[in-house]
Chains A and B, each alone.
Chain A
Amino acid sequence: MTGLTKLTIAGARDALRKGEITSAELTDALNAAVDGADRLNAYAHKTPDVAAKQAQAADERLKSGDAPDLCGIPLGIKDLFCTEGTASQAASRILDGFKPQYESTVTTQLFRDGAVMLGKLNMDEFAMGSSNETSAYGAAVNPWRADDGVDLTPGGSSGGSAAAVAADLCLGATGTDTGGSIRQPAAFTGTTGIKPTYGRCSRFGIIAFASSLDQAGPMTRDVRDAAIMLRAMSGHDPKDSTSADIPVPDFEAMLTGDIRGKVIGIPREYHVDGMPGEIEALWTRGTEMLRDAGALIRDISLPHTKYALPAYYVIAPAEASSNLARYDGVRFGHRAKLAQGDGITEMYEKTRAEGFGPEVQRRIMVGTYVLSAGFYDAYYNQARKVRALIKRDFDQVFAEGVDAILTPATPSSAFGLGAMKDADPVQMYLNDVFTVTVNLAGLPGISVPTGLDHKGLPLGLQLIGRPWEEGDLLNTAYALEQAAGFVSKPAKWW
């Protein structure tokens, strides 16, 4: 059977259950595709042996009739997830050689359902970046190109995940999202990515960046696949005290495409200065698609939106400076070579200077500064108060009957690798202007590919939902997906 690598998860599931294909065939096809795509640098660690074993077990399970949705489905796993016995280094030199002795809860659940791991996916170092360029493995490359043939970013931090899904190097991938790290790369690659409500997926075994913001989620070819994969990833975990002990619905069963009478909010503060006309036009078209599908469109205000990015760039570095204190060269990962007479302080300082890249060092130090004596109230507490106001903005519009909010996913299409080299750090941070509010408020948000720009590159729209109502959000996204009819794929050049 040809075209195995292009199957959706739902399509592969149905073909596997009918016995039309085997997981071993599917896995072989994808391993071959992965091997032929080194130019994209999407996979940091390939695990064909693990995949072969899992595929064999899945095929036996399929024969026995006990086959959950993901049984035999080959997936890529972001390098941020600890996978037992397989390198997991958050794309950082400081975790060089680290092989976890335990499995993250999310991957445990995926494997419980029979999923097959093809390898670990490239990302920005410790998920800090919007272009995959801070990775110790070098940048992943977007399979999409404009006519000029310049290498483009797949976005970040889940850039390898996005590139792999877009280039048919897996049927779906795990991502994580602290400020937009699932939704921005999904938008840059014409794929679908959902960040669920904070607490929906366990954070146990996901290398921590900013614990009050980090959430895992699926990155897939379409909304149905996102629904299937999210269900498997979700659920309460006693090992993560912030994971929610509430039932996980069958999200796929909620995809009716019927959004008649749903109220969709259009926030006026998301019309930011300098936004390209084609992003505005896409947003207008998306609004019309939802209206045509029977939704009620309402203009809304989220007055504290402009303060979301500055609040994020206090809170996230503050939490990172604390979380990343554990990389000290003692228990795991890299330790610097020491000179005669060096003591433990020199060991810490040299190890961390060698092990962390520039962006990670910058954020640790900014976090250290905003938490230091004399500045804690002025920066950190002020940011946490502003965060409360940002959440209150959302609470109010939801209380007034809004079911979901439609915004652009990103302020541009994918940009060239290296294009931001001389920009100051804040310029890169602006990539997350539409996504970061959602993390601060703990809400679910999904990026849906909706169109192409004048260069032929994909653009996405974001839908933001009420807490814990991912099913309803996915259904609205499904209606948008059907109306947009986005079916473009990148032409293979790699």
Chain B
Amino acid sequence: MSIDTDTARRVAKLARIRVEEEALPALASEFNTILGFIEQLQEVDVTGVEPMTGVTPMHLKRREDVVTDGSQPEKVLANAPDAREGFFAVPKVVE
């Protein structure tokens, strides 16, 4: 599997990270080095093996489906880059 600049551009877009056009070939080359390294996983016989979901066999605990937290909008907004009137502010999303 070899990654070209088009794939690198697509992955950067999916990850929502701006990568300038001239940086794409180097990025693709780095991906190829890393993917070349992980390619060796394909030689392992995994017949009948389930993908691991959690490393410790455990049943997740359950609790009552009730509100346990909330009513602290000031704390929630305290670190926002732009908060107005009790809301997070972002650039216009809908025309």
A contacts, CB < 8 Å to B:
97-102, 197-199, 212, 238, 241-242, 244-245, 304, 306-307, 309-311, 313-314, 321, 325, 328-335, 338, 342-350, 352-353, 356, 361-362, 364-366, 368-370, 372, 378-379, 381-389, 391, 424-426, 429, 440-442, 467
Known: A385-B46, A426-B33, A442-B56. A365 touches B88 (CB 8 A): no
Contact A310 B63 (CB under 8 A): no
Report the Cα distance A342→B90, complex, angstroms. 11
- Decide yes or no whether B44 CB sits under 8 A from chain A: yes
Q: Would you mind naming 14 contact pairs between A and B with Cβ atoms under 8 Å apart? A: A100-B79, A101-B72, A197-B56, A198-B56, A212-B54, A241-B60, A241-B61, A311-B41, A313-B37, A333-B81, A334-B81, A379-B41, A384-B51, A385-B51
Known: A330-B88, A347-B90. A364 touches B56 (CB 8 A): no
Which one, A197, A334, A365, A383, contacts B27 given CB within 8 A? Answer: A365
> Which of A238, A244, A306, A426 has the most chain B CB atoms closer than 10 A to its own CB?
A426
> Which residues B53-67 have CB closer than 8 A to chain A?
53-56, 58, 60-61, 63
**Distance from A352 Cβ to chain B, minimum over Cβ atoms (Å):** 5
Which one, B11, B51, B61, contacts A245 given CB within 8 A? Answer: B61
Contact B58 A244 (CB under 8 A): yes
Contact A343 B41 (CB under 8 A): no
Which one, B33, B34, B46, B54, contacts A382 given CB within 8 A? Answer: B46
A325 (CB) vs chain B CBs: closest residue:
B16
Contact B41 A314 (CB under 8 A): yes
Chain B residues, CB < 8 A from A335: 81-82
Known: A314-B41, A331-B88. A365 touches B12 (CB 8 A): yes
B contacts, CB < 8 Å to A:
3, 7-8, 11-12, 14-19, 27, 30-31, 33-35, 37-42, 44, 46, 49-56, 58, 60-61, 63, 72, 75-76, 78-82, 88, 90-93
Which one, B16, B30, B75, contacts A362 given CB within 8 A? Answer: B30
Beyond A344-B90, A385-B50, list 8 extra A-B contacts (CB 8 Å).
A334-B81, A335-B81, A349-B18, A372-B14, A382-B42, A387-B55, A389-B46, A429-B37
- Enumerate the 4 nearest inter-chain pairs by beta-carbon distance, A residue then B residue, closest first: A442-B55, A384-B51, A332-B79, A335-B81
Report the Cα distance A362→B80, complex, angstroms. 26
Chain A residues, CB < 8 A from B7: 369
Interface of A is mostly: helix
Which one, B30, B75, B80, B91, contacts A343 given CB within 8 A? Answer: B91
Chain A residues, CB < 8 A from B40: 306-307, 310
Chain A residues, CB < 8 A from B37: 309-310, 313, 426, 429
Chain B residues, CB < 8 A from A245: 61
Contact B55 A101 (CB under 8 A): no
Contact B80 A391 (CB under 8 A): no
Report the Cα distance A389→B92, complex, angstroms. 49
Report the Cα distance A293→B75, complex, angstroms. 55
Chain A residues, CB < 8 A from B53: 384
Which one, A244, A386, A426, A441, contacts B41 given CB within 8 A? Answer: A386
Contact B34 A368 (CB under 8 A): no
Which one, A330, A387, A441, contacts B81 given CB within 8 A? Answer: A330
Chain A residues, CB < 8 A from B3: 369
Contact B56 A307 (CB under 8 A): no
Chain A residues, CB < 8 A from B18: 346, 349-350, 352-353
Chain A residues, CB < 8 A from B51: 381, 384-385, 387-388
Chain B residues, CB < 8 A from A379: 38, 41
> Which of B14, B81, B91 has the most chain A CB atoms closer than 10 A to its own CB?
B81
Contact B16 A212 (CB under 8 A): no
Chain B residues, CB < 8 A from A332: 79-81
Report the Cα distance A298→B7, complex, angstroms. 49
Contact A425 B55 (CB under 8 A): no
**Distance from B40 Cβ to chain A, minimum over Cβ atoms (Å):** 5
